[in-house]
Amino acid sequence: MSDETGSKARRGSAPTIYDVAELAGVSPSTVSRALSKPGRISATTEAKIRAAADELRFRVNPLARGLYTGRTLTLALVVADITNPVIFGIVRGAEHAASERGYTLVIAESQESGEAESEAVRRLMPSVDGIILATTRLGEAGIRDLAAEKPVVLINRAVSDVPAILPDVEKGVAALIDHLAGLGHRSIAYLSGPTASWISDRRWEALLAHAEQRDIATVEIGPNAPTIDGGRAAVRRVRASRATAVVAFNDLIAIGVMQQFAEDGIEVPRQVSVSGFDDIFGSELIVPALTTVRSQLESAGRRAATSLIALVDGAQPDDPAQLLDTTLVVRASTGPAPTT
């Protein structure tokens, strides 16, 4: 360790970019280029700078870099309900993609309120470089206003000219209806999600179209809170519909329906079949295990963060809407339609 390094360690003050530059024998601007965007200077000089930074135990301060670059290296992920297991995979994927590129991910929750979501976003705007709106409850005009101020990427919501990561709703619903029709079901109840849920409307539209093609009676019951309690509360209306199969907006609603059916003495799937969407953790643990349409949640988060960073860097997506594959996972909660 050099005398300068030793004196700085003794003083206990944090090393600066100027200390690294002095130890490496280069200018501070060269240090900045080497540490902020590797590959912009010669490999030999970069290695010397990194060795000096390691010796001094220097760490780049994102806030200080933001003053120099105009960026905070921070992304926001705004979700409707942080307790919903759907969010777990999205957060993991987004966090991995962000950290790989040197960004920090912060999370805000709207608690299913468009007003609360708007307020949260406004608070975050000055301190982030871009925003991922996952399961947003904002209206189209509000989303456009945000996208005009900051880079925005959507998950499970489509707004023209705003990049979005979307599940292939058509494929998943078609597979589910084929499955139920093959089991002999001629009446289906769809338990919709919140009123402001764009993806709930898309699932209903696809389900209605495919059911009509097969001459299957279909009814929409809702809106429903996208929770287990929301599913429980819908059971009376489900029973009144006399449907032999229930398709829930998400797995949480489906699980709630199954729990209430069990308490009411209704056997699944002997008396009624139940299915959901997303394939969250716990879907295969409930008894009987839940049939569901699996979405690529972690991939959605990763792609959203990757696309957002590209927008921050000034790139424009070739295709604003990226479709992710959906897969029907058949488990024990669906069975042949009752004959009586």
pLDDT in tens, 123-148: 999 899 999 999 898 999 999 999 99
pTM of the predicted protein model: 0.80
Whether the CB-CB separation of 162 and 144 falls below 8 Å is answered with yes
Measured between alpha carbons, how far is 225 from 222 in angstroms, rounded to an integer? 9
Q: What is the pLDDT of residues 210-242, one digit of tens each?
A: 999 999 999 999 999 999 999 999 999 999 999
Measured between alpha carbons, how far is 51 from 211 in angstroms, rounded to an integer? 65
User: Domains, the chain, ranges and CATH?
Assistant: 3-60 (1.10.260.40), 69-165+298-323 (3.40.50.2300), 169-295 (3.40.50.2300)
Q: Which helix (H) or strand (E) holds 219?
A: strand 217-221
**Residue 84: φ, ψ to 5°:** -75, 125
- In the prediction, which pLDDT does 31 show? 85
Which position has the token pair 């489906």? 254
Cα–Cα distances (Å) from 60 to 29, 34, 43, 315, in that order, read 14, 11, 19, 25
- In the prediction, which pLDDT does 89 show? 93
Measured between alpha carbons, how far is 146 from 157 in angstroms, rounded to an integer? 14
Measured between alpha carbons, how far is 150 from 312 in angstroms, rounded to an integer? 8
Cα–Cα distances (Å) from 78 to 117, 134, 253, in that order, read 8, 6, 22
Q: Which helix (H) or strand (E) holds 51?
A: helix 43-56
pLDDT per residue, tens digit, the chain (340 aa), is: 344 444 444 345 678 888 889 999 998 888 877 876 667 788 889 899 989 988 888 876 655 555 455 678 999 999 989 999 999 999 999 999 999 998 999 999 988 888 899 999 999 998 999 999 998 989 999 999 999 999 999 999 999 889 999 999 999 999 999 999 999 999 999 999 999 899 999 999 999 999 999 999 999 999 999 999 999 999 999 999 999 999 999 999 999 999 999 999 999 999 999 999 999 999 999 999 999 999 999 999 999 999 999 999 888 876 788 999 999 999 999 999 998 6
- In the prediction, which pLDDT does 88 show? 93
- In the prediction, which pLDDT does 1 show? 39
What single letter denotes the amino acid at residue 323? L
- In the prediction, which pLDDT does 317 show? 75
Whether the CB-CB separation of 290 and 276 falls below 8 Å is answered with yes
Residue 159: DSSP 8-state: B
- In the prediction, which pLDDT does 41 show? 84
Preceding peptide of 288 cis, ω within 30°: yes
Residues in CB range of 259: below 8 A, 6 or more apart: 228, 231, 232, 286
Whether the CB-CB separation of 292 and 329 falls below 8 Å is answered with yes
